[in-house]
Amino acid sequence: MAAAEKDHVYKILELVGSSDTSIEDAIKNAISRAAKTIREMKWFEVTQTRGHIENGTVRHYQVTLRVGFTLDA
């Protein structure tokens, strides 16, 4: 963590993103959606990876994220 960020207070947000393609894509979808209203997101942590199955194949991946952003940015 760079010096300039060290005195921030972070708030943690919990999101679920989904994707037909990959776990990484589900993460990106959640973060790009949240970026519409929250500017200073800094990190994420994956807390759950799930998905839905249709006709015996993976229909989509669904990833739960905790996302930290600075309150004072």
Residue 41 binds a second copy (CB under 8 A): yes
Report the first-to-last Cα separation within the chain, whole angstroms: 15
Question: Scanning residues 5 to 24, which ones bind a second copy (CB under 8 A)?
Answer: 6-18, 22-24
Does residue 73 bind a second copy (CB under 8 A)? no
What is the rounded CA–CA span in Å between residue 49 and residue 34? 19
Query: By the criterion CB under 8 A, which residues form the site for a second copy?
Result: 1-3, 6-18, 22-24, 27-35, 39, 41-46, 48-53, 56-61, 64, 66-68, 71-72
